[in-house]
Amino acid sequence: MNIRDSVAFVTGANRGLGLAFARELLARGAKTVYAGVRNPNGIDAPGLVPVKLDVTDPASVRAIAARCSDVTLLINNAGIGPANTGALDPTLIDSMREVFETNFYGLVRASQAFAPVLARNGGGAIINLLSDATWFARPVLTAYSAAKSAAWSFTNALRIELRGQGTQVLALHVGYIDTEMSKDVDTRKSDPRRVAARALAALESGSEEVLADGQSNTVKASLSTEHPYYLNPPPMG
C-alpha cells in the first residue's frame, strides 16, 4: 500500500506512538489523517483531523466508521498500559477485563467497523499494534501479555479473511517504547518515531508482519528452539 494520498485513521493518536504514526503519515504524504481520541481538544498537532472516539464503546466506533467513510488505512494503536498484577493476584481478572476492553476488544471493534469501509475504498490496509509480550509474559505483564496474544491471534485470522477484499493486514511487534506509558520502566526503549517509520515502510513494501526492535526479533527467533525466550526471560534492565 502507498501512504501518499492515503486517508488514515489512527486510534489513540493524542500522544506516544499514535502521535508519532500520525506525524509520520503526514510526512509521507497522506492526504488526511484522522486522530481518534477521547478528547479531541487535547490534540495540538498541525495537519491532523481530531475526532472523538472511545474504542471501548461499540456505538462510538460504529459512528466514527460511518463518519470517516473515506479511510483507506486503519492503525489500531489505542491501548492502556500493563496492569501490574501477577498470575496469582486476586485482582487479576478485574485487571484483565480492563486491559482486554481496550487492547483487544477495542482493536476488534475498530477492525470490524472499518473493514467494510476499506473494501469500498479499494482494499487499503490495517496495522495492528502488538508486542514482544505476545510471545512471553513476565508475571507483572500477565494481563497485558494475554491481551496482546489474543490480539495476535485475531490479527492472523483477520489477515486471512480480508485478503479476499484486497486489504493488507500488518502486525507490528515491538517491545518497550520511549513514551509516557513506559516512563517508569528502567529498560531499553525504542524511539516511537523510528517504530512508526519502520512500520509504515514495511506496509509500503507489502509486508504482513514487522518486528520493529531487537527484542522482538530475539523473542520470536527463539520460539522454535530448545530454549525459547518465554520459558526464562532475562531480568529487565
Instruction: Report, as residue numbers or ranges, the catalytic residues.
Output: 144
Query: What residues have CB less than 8 Å from 206, skipping those under 6 apart?
Result: 1, 168
Going by the DSSP 8-state scheme, the letter that residue 182 receives in this structure is: G
Nearest to 31 by CA among 2, 6, 9, 63: 6
For residues 56 and 102, the answer to whether their CB atoms sit within 8 Å is: yes
DSSP code string of 42-73: G---TT-EEEE--TT-HHHHHHHHHH-TT--E
